């Protein structure tokens, strides 16, 4: 047999959407010749060609009797790793150190994923099933190696193989950087969903952008947070498969003209290309491997100005190249400037346009000669994860009308049946609005289509409410229109705007005619006759209702409104959030289309968030439930309730927690330099830094605790306070000044408290820099108490609260987001509740604006303590000032820190009391894990599939 070249095997670009028909090479490649052995730290393969010559003959040797399924052992895994160390190297050949071991191991695992990916894609193609497409600006994946081999059930084989090669699997896994494709809960939710979609065998893909530098890498210095670019792609990404043959044109600017056939044509402008990079997503204990397709941007070589380069004008030469590339440089570039806004909008449109072109191409290919656009919604479901992919709506319309020849009515009906929207926030800054002028410049054809959508909505509103009550119509249009502060179409104004009516005044002589039916006439008969004006019995004034715009305000496009209008389903992500969406955020739309609105409480994958990140606890759960089925069926966790008082279980539970806390101690020492005691309560708040999440409330509570400690003797401190390690983590957006002040404040408090010899181990404050999924996988299993203390009604759901509950961590929080449902499931007595409720917030803010709020003396005390300079020379007047006053931007304590402060510190006293009784605390911990059974992303995905996408699982044969 002729030798099979290594490039035949590993050419990433050759494995594209159409390479699924011949998987023999990939299958065999995973289990290479077991005879290949060499020293663990020097993997030079002298017989490399003989490896390729033997590949086909090895097929039968590596199969078992179960329908040809490949069963790897450690020796075949060793051969595969060695092969990649030699033939797909990212490092020089002399040594086999940890970084090289990681890349070779990851590439070895990727081979198995490609085999499964190709098989999955081929089956979906063959069956021509309806497929869901999840579009998100973020996918916060975390490290992939342990997750992939865990899902493939190869952990044992890889651990043994790497041991024989001189390395530990965990040490190898630590070499992997987190993929810098997200920031917070939005992106982690998307990744949990992909894991569940694959595990449950649903036909689905994810679509996102391939950010070169991520959001940023967070450094903590004496000045607080500093940002530097992420370097996650510096050594390459072993999981991604470039699809150089899968690319689509993207256009910006230009103009819209009428083509020769009467169709609209978008011509001129700036042209770039979006290129696909695929990341395989394996399911757990299933062959199904779905795809995350990421887009990178570039321009064709002809856009490089060679003449300018040779003449020395180098910036001009690569100007087009840089414009294209920078679209995928940074997640959420700062949008304070016009250039920043433009770049963000380019990002969003690139995601939407490339993804939809790809989806449509797949639909056409699978349809073949039976192409019927009316069946598009029967084969395609597009889910917009928040408002970032809103441009999917006009983009789908554009393609269907301008390129596929459909009428407006046909395209609009197809679009509405295809697209659905998940709302993640009630915060104004997240309910995106874009400048109409910017959109007109950047996407002129889309503005025309958005205007048509807006007109369609206006007609619907008028048809629903009529024109009798113009004030009502005016209010509905003000709240519901997609275009904000934009003139109504002329045809609509003709219907709505009526001439102004003037008062009717009767002028009569003093002596009125009493004859029935006679006309009243006033006429001066002589100079002596006075014209008498009769007092009107009724003055009838009809005010004019105007529909004028405000010339002092910008014209905007409301993306959330466009999502609601353009899709067939809108869902919130927790019960309380979905009620706020219906009753407040989109109440007018809910009244018009109640059938559109749903709730889909978020969930997290139990594979990553218990099974893989907390093996000690996982063993205990398996032992006491009598099965490993809980990893797929979290309802089994509920059985732990039956043993919550069992002393043996409690003892094992505490030992597992202790092991995780000791791991956390080592991690904190490595990352921050602070050495903390595992005997203390580990109190953790890790999430994006934002005023509504109220890290400020937490740190002010800690400052109050510290102040009270300082006022006591050593004996009194030990008697009154449980030792605590208070851990923070999260990124403040680079231009969010107030959030960065909070980070600075936390680190300053830590620097003072942690070096105070009077306090010692009774209180430590640690800020963990660069919080990400990998950090979470250490902190969450080791936590005793977690804080979810957002201002009620402002957190859509939260997913970290679910992860903490799954790991037996008890929570302190407000009735906000998924806290409400978690508290119901774990039991009210196992959740520390405080604070104002969502329905009270508006009234409390109104009370504040009227100057009626009286702050608690303890709150005033703690602010003065901060201002005293005890935490260093930094001026905290601006930060403390934001909690004062009755009105004004950045003041008046909009997030009600002062209002909830006394309830918060009193609730923390209850936490101390409960923690002293370790038997009670352990029972609470067990019941938190048991009560988290409803918060698996598997359950959430089943609901999306049933209620929104109408897709069915498809198990590979």
Residue for token pair 């205007």: 451
The catalytic position among 27, 212, 243, 687 is 687
Pairing of strands 483-484, 556-558: antiparallel
Q: Is 744 among the residues known to form the active site?
A: no
Please, which contacts does 910-915 make with residues 24 or more away whose CB atoms are closer than 8 Å? Answer: 910/832, 911/681, 911/722, 911/785, 911/812, 911/832, 912/721, 912/722, 914/810, 914/832, 915/681, 915/722, 915/784, 915/785
Instruction: Find the length of the chain.
Output: 957
Q: What is the 3-state secondary structure (H, E, C) of 42-75?
A: CCCCCCHHHHHHHCHHHCHHHECCCCCCECCCHH
The torsion region of residue 585 among left (phi > 0), alpha (psi -120 to 50) and beta comes to alpha
Contact predicate 401/395, CB 8 Å: no
Q: Which of 152, 151, 169 minimizes the C-alpha distance to 160?
A: 169
Q: Which of 424, 558, 582, 724 is catalytic?
A: 424
How far apart CA 160 and CA 605 sit, in angstroms, is: 27
Q: Is residue 253 within 8 Å of residue 268, measured between CB atoms?
A: yes
Q: How far is CA 490 from the centre of its chain?
A: 40
* CA-to-CA separations, 40 to 36, 165, 728, 813, in angstroms, rounded: 12, 4, 41, 51
Residue 179 has, within 13 A of its CA and on its CB side, a CA count of 24
Q: What is the dihedral of CA 353, 359, 362, 368, to 10 degrees?
A: -90
- Catalytic pick from 124, 344, 558, 693? 693
Of 597, 595, 253, which is closest to residue 423 (Cα–Cα)?
Answer: 597
Q: What residues form DSSP beta bridges with 296?
A: 275
Q: Count how many Cα atoms sit within 13 Å of the Cα of residue 454 in the half-sphere of its side chain.
A: 25
Ramachandran assignment for 254, one of left (phi > 0), alpha (psi -120 to 50 degrees), beta (any other): left
Burial classification of residue 917, based on how many CB atoms lie within 10 Å of its CB (0-12 exposed, 13-18 middle, 19 or more buried):
exposed
- Does the active-site annotation cover 799? yes
Is residue 934 annotated as part of the catalytic site, yes or no?
no
Burial 696-715 (b: 16+ CB within 10 A, else e): bbbbbbbbbbbbbbeeeeee
Task: Give the DSSP H/E element, type plus range, for residue 117.
Answer: helix 98-127
Q: What is d(CA 595, CA 577) in angstroms, rounded to the nearest whole number?
A: 17
- Considering the candidates 577, 661, 803, 899, report the single residue annotated as catalytic: 803
Catalytic residue, candidates 27, 661, 688, 845: 688
For strands 380-385 and 763-768, give the pairing.
unpaired
Catalytic one of 387, 390, 799, 922: 799
- What stretches of 806-907 adopt beta strand conformation (E)? 810-813, 831-833
**What is the three-class DSSP state of 731?**
coil
Active site (annotated) includes residue 710: no
Long-range contact pairs involving 275-278 (C-beta distance under 8 Å, separation at least 24): 275/242, 275/243, 275/244, 275/246, 275/247, 276/242, 276/243, 276/246, 276/247, 276/354, 276/358, 277/210, 277/240, 277/241, 277/242, 277/243, 278/117, 278/240, 278/241, 278/243
CA 510 – CA 508 distance, rounded (Å): 6
- As to burial, measured by CB atoms within 10 angstroms (0-12 exposed, 13-18 middle, 19+ buried), residue 739 is buried
Neighbour tally for 455: CB within 10 Å: 17
Closest to 399 (Cα-Cα) out of 380, 384, 414:
414
Q: Is residue 688 flagged as an active site residue?
A: yes
What are the angstrom distances between the C-alpha of 392 and each of 385, 555, 563, 938? 11, 21, 9, 26
Bridge partner residues of 764 (DSSP): 725
Residues recognised as catalytic: 424, 687-688, 693, 799, 803
């Amino acid at each position: 047999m002729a030798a099979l070249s290594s490039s035949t095997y590993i050419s990433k670009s050759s494995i594209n959407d159409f390479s699924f028909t011949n998987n023999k090479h990939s299958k065999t490649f995973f289990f290479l010749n077991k005879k290949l052995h060499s020293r663990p730290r020097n993997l030079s393969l002298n017989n490399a060609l003989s490896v390729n010559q033997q590949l086909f003959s090895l097929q039968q040797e590596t199969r078992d009797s179960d329908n040809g399924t490949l069963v790897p052992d450690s020796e075949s895994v060793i051969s595969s790793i060695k092969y990649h160390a030699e033939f797909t190297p990212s490092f020089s050949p002399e040594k086999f150190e940890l970084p090289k071991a990681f890349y070779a191991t990851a590439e070895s695992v990727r081979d198995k994923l490609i085999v499964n990916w190709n098989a999955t894609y081929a089956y979906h193609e063959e069956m021509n099933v309806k497929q869901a497409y999840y579009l998100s600006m973020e996918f916060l994946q975390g490290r992939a190696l342990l997750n992939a081999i865990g899902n493939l059930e190869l952990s044992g084989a890889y651990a043994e193989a790497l041991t024989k090669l001189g390395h530990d699997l965990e040490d190898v896994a630590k070499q992997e950087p987190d993929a810098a494709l997200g920031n917070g809960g939005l992106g982690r939710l998307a990744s949990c969903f992909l894991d569940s979609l694959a595990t449950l065998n649903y036909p689905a893909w994810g679509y996102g952008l391939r950010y070169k530098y991520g959001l940023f890498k967070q450094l903590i210095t004496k000045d607080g947070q500093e940002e530097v670019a992420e370097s996650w792609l510096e050594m390459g990404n072993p999981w991604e498969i470039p699809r150089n043959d899968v690319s689509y044109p993207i256009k910006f600017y230009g103009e819209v003209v009428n083509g020769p056939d009467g169709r609209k044509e978008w011509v001129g402008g700036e042209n770039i290309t979006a290129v696909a990079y695929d990341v395989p997503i394996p399911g757990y204990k299933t062959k199904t491997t779905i795809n995350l397709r990421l887009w990178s941007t570039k321009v064709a070589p002809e856009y490089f100005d060679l003449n300018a380069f040779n003449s020395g004008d180098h910036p001009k030469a690569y100007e087009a190249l840089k414009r294209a590339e920078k679209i995928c440089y940074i997640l959420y570039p700062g949008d304070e400037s016009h250039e920043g806004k433009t770049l963000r909008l380019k990002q969003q449109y690139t995601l939407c346009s490339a993804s939809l072109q790809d989806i449509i191409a797949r639909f056409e290919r699978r349809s073949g000669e039976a192409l019927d656009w009316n069946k598009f919604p029967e084969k395609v479901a597009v889910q917009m994860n928040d408002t970032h992919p809103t441009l999917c709506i006009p983009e789908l319309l554009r393609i269907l009308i301008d390129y596929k020849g459909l009428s407006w009515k046909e395209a609009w009906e197809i679009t509405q049946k295809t697209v659905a929207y998940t709302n993640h926030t009630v915060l104004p800054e997240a309910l995106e609005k874009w400048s109409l002028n910017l959109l007109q410049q950047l996407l002129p054809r889309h503005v025309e289509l958005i205007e048509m959508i807006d007109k369609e909505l206006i007609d619907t509103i008028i048809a629903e409410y009529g024109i009798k009550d113009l004030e009502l119509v005016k209010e509905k249009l003000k709240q519901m229109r997609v275009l904000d502060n934009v003139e109504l179409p002329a045809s609509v104004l003709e219907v709505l705007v009526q001439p102004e009516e003037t008062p009717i005044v009767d002028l009569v002589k003093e002596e009125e005619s009493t004859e029935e039916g006679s006309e009243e006439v006033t006429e001066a008969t002589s100079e002596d006759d006075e014209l008498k004006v009769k007092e009107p019995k009724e003055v009838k004034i009809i005010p004019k209702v105007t529909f004028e715009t405000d010339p002092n305000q910008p014209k905007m496009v409301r993306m959330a409104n466009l999502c609601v209008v353009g899709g067939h389903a809108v869902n919130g992500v927790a019960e309380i959030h979905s009620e706020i969406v219906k009753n407040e955020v989109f109440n007018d739309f809910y009244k018009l289309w109640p059938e559109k609105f749903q709730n889909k409480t978020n969930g997290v994958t139990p594979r990553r968030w218990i099974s893989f990140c907390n093996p000690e606890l996982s063993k205990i759960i398996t032992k006491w439930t009598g099965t490993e089925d809980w990893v797929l069926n979290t309802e089994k966790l509920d059985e732990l309730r039956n043993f919550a008082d069992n002393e043996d279980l409690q003892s094992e539970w505490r030992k597992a927690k202790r092991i995780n806390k000791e791991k956390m101690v080592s991690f904190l020492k490595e990352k921050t330099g602070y050495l903390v005691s595992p005997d203390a309560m580990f109190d953790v708040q890790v999430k994006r830094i934002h005023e509504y999440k109220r890290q400020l409330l937490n740190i002010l509570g800690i400052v109050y605790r510290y102040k009270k400690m300082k006022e006591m003797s050593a004996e009194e401190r030990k008697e009154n306070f449980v030792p605590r390690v208070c851990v923070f983590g999260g990124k403040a957006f680079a231009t969010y000044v107030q959030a960065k002040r909070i980070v600075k404040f936390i680190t300053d408090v830590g620097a003072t408290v942690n070096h105070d010899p009077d306090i010692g181990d009774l209180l430590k404050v640690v800020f963990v820099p660069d919080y990400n999924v990998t950090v979470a996988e250490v902190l969450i299993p080791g936590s005793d108490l977690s804080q979810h203390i957002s201002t009620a009604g402002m957190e859509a759901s939260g997913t970290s609260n679910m992860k903490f509950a799954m790991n037996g961590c008890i929570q302190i929080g407000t009735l906000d987001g998924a806290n409400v449902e978690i508290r119901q499931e774990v039991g009210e007595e196992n959740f520390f509740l405080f604070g104002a409720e969502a329905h009270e917030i508006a009234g409390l803010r109104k009370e504040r604006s009227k100057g009626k709020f009286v702050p608690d003396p303890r709150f005033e005390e703690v602010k003065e303590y901060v201002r005293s300079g005890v935490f260093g020379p930094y001026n905290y007047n601006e930060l403390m000032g934001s909690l004062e006053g009755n009105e004004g931007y950045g003041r008046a304590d909009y997030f009600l820190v002062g209002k909830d402060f006394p309830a918060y510190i009193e609730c923390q006293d209850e936490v101390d009391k409960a923690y002293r009784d370790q038997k009670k605390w352990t029972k609470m911990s067990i019941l938190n894990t048991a009560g988290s059974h409803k918060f698996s992303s598997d359950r959430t995905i089943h609901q999306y599939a049933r209620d929104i996408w109408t897709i069915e699982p498809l198990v590979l044969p």
